[in-house]
């Protein structure tokens, strides 16, 4: 990932959009990784040079906000500069089309061919004309959308939150407050963006040791649960007290949390036979059982949210989808995994008992650790 590659890729994307007759605005967002600011600036300048109106998000922002902004701004495409939870030296380039979902075939191959056809890097037109920096109204609209996903009312939960040195904290604070959470206990060492990720060996909440600072703070404040976003805040990890686990806390697996979130959303009601629960072929089959028991539609997709969000058929409404690698999508506010709206959708009730002895609970149901809920 370097500036020449970013310019060439963007020129190819612009060429493909022109081929399709798509002439609307393009949204550009970025995280806080090394090079992200320069890569995003080059992306915007190439798009503007190709004649597109460019809408740049105002500062480092979570990936799901860029996905949301693509539809909110009625854009023909959205580009996010991020490497999610990859190592510090990495960066990446994520492309959404106007439907707010990541590209799939055959579009990916068509765009790749357009990139291959780009000439000399020095011949790519670049300009600042036509670039608009968006205001906080986009973030306001995202938070309002997240608020609409959850039942109103205070959340009687004591929670610890970590942004894993990423860009989730500002947006998470606003979304959690809108959802009725009391102020979260933040892991101070990890709350501000830092592209070197100094307190973790690997900035992925699934990795052993990544949540140790969160567990220490949770024990100190008597927390009910731990919430962790990855650096671009599109994934969510949740941990619960468990005296049988090392350190007294256990992170739920993606399948466990996916089943619990789905169960909670189903129990809330306001759904029908055309509402859909979806997951991937490598995730638990439990979601299909929940859907059948509740009389809901069920979809199963290949790995990746670019497929999960495309599972609804004609007339179906996407209620909830997840993949076992800690990716969750509640409703259709964002057509991608979103660790912030997923956390905001947690139930309002506290654990059944404190302390929990050898059992864990986060409000919907209770499961004997360490097996999956049944």
pLDDT in tens, 273-323: 999 999 999 999 999 999 999 999 999 999 999 999 999 999 999 999 999
User: Percentage of the chain surpassing pLDDT 70?
Assistant: 92
C-alpha to C-alpha distance for 47 and 99, rounded to whole angstroms: 19
Q: Which residues contact 166 (CB under 8 A, 6 or more apart)?
A: 31, 32, 62, 193, 203, 229, 230, 231, 232, 233
Asked if residue 119 has pLDDT above 50, the reply is yes
> Is 84 labeled as catalytic in the residue annotation?
yes
Q: What is the pLDDT of residue 362?
A: 42
**What's the pLDDT tens digit per position in 217-236?**
999 999 999 999 999 999 99
Q: Model confidence over 130-174: pLDDT tens digits?
A: 999 999 999 999 999 999 887 666 777 899 999 999 999 999 999
Per residue in 318-329, pLDDT tens? 999 999 999 999
- Tell me the whole-structure pTM to 2 decimals: 0.92
Residue ranges and CATH numbers for the domains of the chain are 3-135 (3.40.120.10), 142-252 (3.40.120.10), 255-344 (3.40.120.10)
Q: Which position among 84, 214, 284, 361 bears the catalytic label?
A: 84
329-344: average pLDDT? 96
Average pLDDT over residues 41-63: 98
């Amino acid at each position: 990932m370097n500036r020449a590659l970013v310019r060439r890729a963007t020129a190819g994307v612009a060429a493909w959009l022109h081929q399709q007759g798509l002439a609307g605005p393009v949204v550009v967002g970025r995280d806080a990784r090394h090079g992200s600011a320069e890569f995003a600036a080059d992306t915007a300048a190439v798009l503007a040079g190709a004649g597109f109106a460019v809408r740049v998000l105002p500062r480092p922002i979570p990936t799901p906000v860029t996905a949301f902004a693509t539809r909110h701004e009625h854009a023909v495409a959205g580009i996010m500069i991020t490497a999610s939870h990859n190592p510090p030296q990495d960066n990446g380039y994520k492309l959404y089309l106007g439907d707010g979902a990541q590209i799939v075939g055959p579009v990916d191959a068509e765009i790749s061919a357009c990139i291959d056809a780009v000439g000399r890097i020095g011949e790519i037109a670049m300009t600042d004309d036509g670039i608009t920096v968006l205001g906080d109204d986009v973030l306001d609209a995202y938070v309002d959308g997240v608020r609409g996903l959850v039942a109103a009312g205070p959340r009687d939960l004591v929670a610890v939150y970590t942004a894993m040195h990423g860009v989730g904290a500002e947006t998470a604070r606003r979304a959690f407050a809108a959802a009725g959470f009391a102020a979260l206990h933040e892991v101070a060492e990890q709350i501000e963006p830092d592209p070197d990720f100094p307190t973790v060996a690997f900035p992925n909440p699934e990795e052993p040791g990544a949540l140790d600072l969160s567990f220490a703070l949770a024990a100190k404040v008597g927390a009910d649960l731990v919430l962790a976003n990855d650096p671009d805040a599109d994934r969510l990890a949740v941990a619960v007290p468990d005296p049988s686990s090392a350190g007294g806390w256990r992170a739920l697996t993606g399948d466990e949390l996916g089943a619990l979130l789905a169960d909670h959303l189903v129990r809330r009601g306001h759904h029908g036979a055309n509402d859909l629960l979806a997951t991937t072929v490598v995730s638990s089959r439990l979601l299909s059982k929940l859907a059948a028991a509740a009389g809901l539609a069920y979809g199963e997709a290949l790995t990746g949210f670019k497929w999960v969000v495309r599972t609804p058929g004609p007339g179906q409404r996407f209620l909830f989808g997840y993949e076992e690698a800690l990716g969750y999508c509640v409703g259709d506010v964002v057509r991608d995994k979103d660790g912030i709206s997923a956390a905001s959708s947690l139930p309002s009730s506290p654990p059944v008992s404190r302390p929990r002895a050898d059992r864990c609970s986060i409000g919907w149901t209770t499961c004997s650790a360490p097996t999956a809920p049944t």
